[in-house]
Structure 1
Amino acid sequence: MVDKDEKPMAEIQHIDHSQSEWNLQGVLPNTSKPWYKERHFLLLNLGMIIPYLSSTTNGYDGSMLNGLQSMSQWQGFFGSPTGTRLGSLSNGVIFGQILAFPIAPWLCDHTGRRFPIFIGSLLLVIGAVLQCAAQDYAMFLVSRMIIGFGGLIAVEASPMLVSELAFPTHRSVLVGYYNNLWYLGAMLAAWVTYGTYFMGPNASWAWRIPSLLQGFFPLVQVLFVYLLPESPRYLVQKDRYEDARKVLVKYHAGGDEDSPLVDFEMKEIILQIQTAKMASKSGYREFLSTRGNLHRLFIIIAVPCMMQLSGNGLIAYYLHLILNSIGLTSDPQQLRINGGLTVFNLGVSIALASLMEMAGRRRLFLFSTVGMLTCYVIWTILSAINQERGFKDSSLGTGVIVMIFLYQFFYNAGLNGPPWVYVTEVLPTHLRAKGTNIMQIASTCVLVFNGYANPVAMDAISWRYYIVYCCVIAVEIALVYFGFPETKGHSLEEVALIFDGEEAFGTEPKGGPEDV
């Protein structure tokens, strides 16, 4: 047993990082079996479903609120909220997230990755029950704040756990699937609200049932999250080297204690974390300490802004306003379009995630932003013509719907799966929780804007508001082209070389390895 205050000398031997990618390929298990026929891979990859459910719950929320807005039962119960009153309900989750910002990274750094998922999911269950039981606007708003508070804690820890547990060659696809499962929740919420709509014009359970079901996936997480192992990188960060090695031996090497892959992973993880600890500054100010960290800070702010400020917020939370603007005002019709869009998004996003390792991250970001801009320009033109003709030409409305679906295709290609892969790759272990928190803060700032500006602007200027997003997406193309390096084909530790050079792993301290 290695004492927790000692550094395992055998693990921190020199690594030739000039050929680190070759080293990784050289120590991978030599097997012709597909992963699903290897018991340890099967258990590990299926276990990823538990943290995935944080994304599913998040997707359920947006689609559910979309569906509720298209239900006369919900509109009647809450007095048909519009403008800032409607925006407050959308931002209720955001208000809760803001309160969780100082807590979530502390929990991830001091309690691991599993406990934040557990406690965040438990709060989500409580929030869903209160949301279902809401008797007025204020109670519904408070319940959504509780959902946001718990949701942020779970969402910050979940992709970190996936990224840090995944087998090296599976990581990009597995993390890519994390955000794609957002659409599973969105699809379920869309069709649940469609089904409960027909319960009757005065049935409050038409909206209470979807509200209660928001707690189902968090309940599954509460019950099963501790079946997953803890992150080996977190364990190393806490000097629990023996425990970290056991996780890697069991889930990456199938129980082989002498696996060269485990030796290689332990060496890289320990060396990178110990180097980071020696060079570490105080708190969040470390992001301003080096050129590499400033570059990381730019990326972790730019990525969430792109994810939320590319016009997708209109579709996610205010699809009924878009459909109203092109003359499609029937409740069942809007619910069917919302449901069909979520099915399309789920299928497309899962298919596209498999291309991530083949195409690379940067290329997908560029493909996505250029495609979204093209769709938004056409969408804007069709909406303008449709309004000028008094919504009498149904083909123009159909054209807008087609552009919405095409836009979602391009959005999924680059801004659904790749962002979480990219952000967890560019952040070193000791900054990953803080960096993820900065990402969530940036995302929340944009979501607050979306929550209040989108419904007000759509009511005031209708299709002309789309021009704003055309300009924003054009700026995003430039940001990706000039500021996003490729990280494809590297381990989490090796990506540090792209930003910090050889300083990422430091040099052996004077006095020999025994002083490390």
Structure 2
Amino acid sequence: MATSRKAQTGAADPLIQQIADKDRVPWYNKPNLRYLYLMLFQTYFADRLNGEFTGELKGIIAAAYSLGAMLSLPLIGIINDKLGRRWSIFGGSAIMVMGSIIQGFSVNAGMYIAARILLGFGIPACIVSGSSLIGELSYPKERAYLTCLFNHCWKYGVEDSILAADGTFVGPDGIIIFFIPESPRWLIAKDRNEEAYDILAKYHAEGNRDSNFVKAEFAHMQTIIQLEMEHSSKSHMDLIRTAGMRRRTLITAGLGLFTQWSGNTLISYYLNDILEMIGRNSSIFKQQINVALSCWSLVCGVVIVLTCVRLKRVTAAYMCTISMLVIYVAWTVTMERATAAINAGRRKNGAAVAVLFLIFAYKPAYQIFYNALTYTYLVEIWPYAERSRGIALQQFFSRGASFATTFINPIGLENVGWKYFISYCIILALEIAFVYFFFAETSGRTLEELTFLFEDKELAEAANDAAMKASDHARVEEVEMTRDGKAA
């Protein structure tokens, strides 16, 4: 399968990644790296559900959450650059705790909506900073797996928030964050090089400060970040300043829209309406389908997270979008047949069963890329200096798209019925074209080797050469790892 029309990119040769791949010691046999990943696991719970409202205000309350998120997004990049990843997560968690308290003591709809706006205001800081921190702290071999888990593990956050009284358990998240080290890349950008080197040595070489791998990795980070800072004005205008940045911005905006406009919100928010359209009106049956979908989504998510990182990113994007289009075309046809049967008085019909099958089939199709690899891809395509602003941009378009579909979906289902599904078929076809024309491959390289992905290849190679010289000409290609996880 072709990867992309623009296969030639400015990604550097994967020198550091190749060194990391020679390390045969698994992460669970490295005490320091094991501790780091255990602490990072808590950041996966940032994007949790904080209660649900039912009744006539359901749409307004859901939209209030997205509105709060959109209001905070212009500030996220500034806060990340000034305070670092950890303090941003702490701040977002603190705001959500306040929102949860207000929500718990709400005595009217106005207070509840205000609480939802406050909860929405806090969540982007946790999402943007959490995904960045995971990608920037991870050992190169495991980075893709860990960033894939970020979007999947919110389901566990849903469960523990329900068990812990409507989301107030976000408080411990803000405390645990101080047991996690700061991003070494942020420390380097702030000229705190010694602290950054100590973190890399502790977690990427099990405390061995003489590790040739750590020397090369640190030199690569330092060189690339210095080059980035020289060309960055730390403003949102940087996102459209060059052709490469404009392409990143376009991809990011597309991902923000497509993660909400691929038909997934119909299942997430309006499944009951769809079931009623095919004659399944029993409340018990609806609950059974909801529980079954949740369990199925969990199983699919685990399997996909463990397997999708082995795929090329562009290949995974094609598999996701093409399979969703096929499913939605079939779903549209079966919805028409099922509703026609219902109108003819035949409540039990094969088309309705087919609709149920396609709803379940849609879950793994969506998760292949949009659930598993969205944040992985965003962390990879954005260079350090603009990473927080780039992910915040995705959140802006995602929340905006969610805000819009909250109102559009019920109107479409009510007014045109099954024909409304045709609009999603068209959008999914456009997504396939979008992947073909704009996506670039990012797998198999470190974040620094992807810094100039959409720029000149020569610039990327020059940065690689400078980094290798800065590492005192260490023979990094011959680095071998001993069984205790320390560099030879």
* TM-score, reference length from structure 1: 0.83
- 1:276 equivalent to 2:211? Answer no
How many Å apart are 1:187 and its aligned residue?
6.0
The yes-or-no answer on 1:112 pairing with 2:84 is yes
Secondary structure, in 3 states, of the residue corresponding to 1:169? coil
CA distance in structure 2 between the aligned counterparts of 1:187 and 1:332, rounded to whole angstroms: 21
Q: CA RMSD in A?
A: 2.3
Q: CA 1:184 to 1:277, structure 2 compared with 1: closer, same or farther past 3 Å?
A: same
For the Cα contact (< 8 Å) 2:240–2:246, is it kept in 1?
yes
Residue aligning to 1:41: 33
| Inter-partner Cα distance in structure 2 for 1:438 and 1:27 | 31
Q: Is the 8 A contact 1:305 1:442 kept in 2?
A: yes
Over 3 Å counting, the alpha-carbon distance change for 1:102 and 1:498 in structure 2 is closer
Matches within 5 A, 1:203-352: 212-216=165-169, 218-281=170-233, 283-352=235-304
What secondary structure sits across from 2:440 in the alignment? Answer: coil
Q: How many residues align?
A: 454
Deviations 1:257-297 (A, max 9, x none): 11111111111111111111112246122222222112111
Q: CA contact under 8 A between 1:41 and 1:251: conserved in structure 2? A: yes
Contact 1:93 1:147 in 2 (8 A): yes
Deviation track 1:138-181 (CA, whole Å, cap 9, x = no partner) reads: 22211111110111221111100100010001001100010011
Q: CA distance change for structure 1 residues 375 and 187 in 2, over 3 Å: closer, same or farther?
A: farther
> How has the CA–CA distance of structure 1 residues 263 and 143 changed in structure 2, closer, same or farther, with 3 Å as cutoff?
same
Aligned-partner Cα distance in 1 for 2:12–2:313:
22
Aligned to 2:318: 366
User: Per-residue CA shift, 1:44-64, capped at 9, x if unaligned?
Assistant: 221221110113x1xx35xx5
Which residue identity lines up with residue 503 of structure 1 in the other structure? L
User: Counterpart of 2:119 in structure 1: which amino acid?
Assistant: I
Report the alpha carbon displacement of residue 329 of structure 1 after superposing the two structures with TM. Answer: 2.5
Q: 2:339 is matched with which residue?
A: 387
Q: Secondary structure at the match of 1:389?
A: helix
Aligned to 1:205: none
Q: 2:411 pairs with 436, 444, 456, which one?
A: 456
Alignment of 1:18-33 (within 5 A): 20-26=13-19, 30-31=23-24, 33=25
**Structure 2: distance between partners of 1:491 and 1:384:** 48
Distance change in 2, residues 1:400/1:132 (3 Å): farther
Q: Percent of aligned pairs with the same residue?
A: 28
Q: Which amino acid aligns with 1:408?
A: K
Distance 1:262 1:456, change over 3 A: same
Distance change >3 Å, CA 374–CA 177, structure 1 → 2: same
**C-alpha separation between the residues in 2 aligned to 1:388 and 1:18?**
53
Aligned residue number for residue 433 of structure 2: 478
Distance 1:116 1:324 in 2: 43
**Structure-2 separation of matches of 1:18 and 1:463:** 45
Equivalent position of 2:377 in the other structure: 422
Following TM superposition, by how much is the alpha carbon of 1:215 offset from its aligned partner in structure 2, in angstroms?
Answer: 2.3
Residue 18 of structure 1 deviates from its aligned partner by 9.2
Return the TM-score normalized by structure 2.
0.88
CA drift at 1:22: 3.5
Alignment of 1:77-88 (within 5 A): 81=56, 85-88=57-60
Structure 2 residue 328 is the aligned partner of structure 1 residue 376: yes
Letter matched to residue 21 of structure 1: P
After TM superposition, give the deviation of residue 388 of structure 1 in Å. Answer: 1.1
Q: Say whether 1:180 aligns with 2:172.
A: no
1:272, 1:493 within 8 Å by CA — same for their partners in 2? yes
2:74 aligned counterpart, secondary structure: coil
> Structure 1 residues 382, 51: closer, same or farther in 2, change over 3 A?
same
| 8 Å Cα contact 2:11-2:451 kept in structure 1 | no
Whole-angstrom CA distance in 2 between matches of 1:18 and 1:444: 30
Amino acid at match of 2:341: R
Kept after mapping to 1: 8 A contact 2:65/2:117: yes
How far apart are the structure 1 equivalents of 2:12 and 2:73?
A: 39
Residue 446 and residue 156 in structure 1: after superposition, are their counterparts in 2 closer, same or farther (change >3 A)?
Answer: same
- C-alpha distance in 2 between matches for 1:23 and 1:367: 29
Q: 1:490 aligns to what?
A: 445
Moved more, 391-400 or 264-273: 391-400
> What is the one-letter code of the residue matched to 1:183?
K
Q: Name the SS of the counterpart of 2:454 in structure 1.
A: helix
Structure 2 gap ranges (5+)? 1-9, 471-488
Please state if 1:139 is matched with 2:111.
Answer: yes
Separation in structure 2 between the aligned mates of residue 463 and residue 360 of structure 1, nearest angstrom: 35
**More RCO (CA 8 Å, sep 6+):** 2
Distance of aligned partners of 1:331 and 1:136 in 2 relative to their CA distance in 1, 3 Å threshold: farther
Q: SS at the partner of 2:448?
A: coil
Deviations 1:417-451 (A, max 9, x none): 11100011000000001111111111122111111
- Residue identity matched to 1:275: L
1:440 pairs with one of 395, 398, 419? 395
Match of 1:51 in 2: 43
Q: Relative to structure 2, which stretch is displaced further, 318-327 or 235-244?
A: 318-327
Cα gap change, 1:462/1:170 in structure 2, threshold over 3 Å: closer, same or farther? same
Cα distance between partner residues in 2 of 1:449 and 1:134:
26
Secondary structure class of the residue paired with 2:80? helix
Match of 1:407 in 2: 362
CA distance in 2, matches of 1:219, 1:282: 31
Distance 1:118 1:282, change over 3 A: closer
Q: Distance in 2 between matches of 1:28 and 1:358?
A: 14
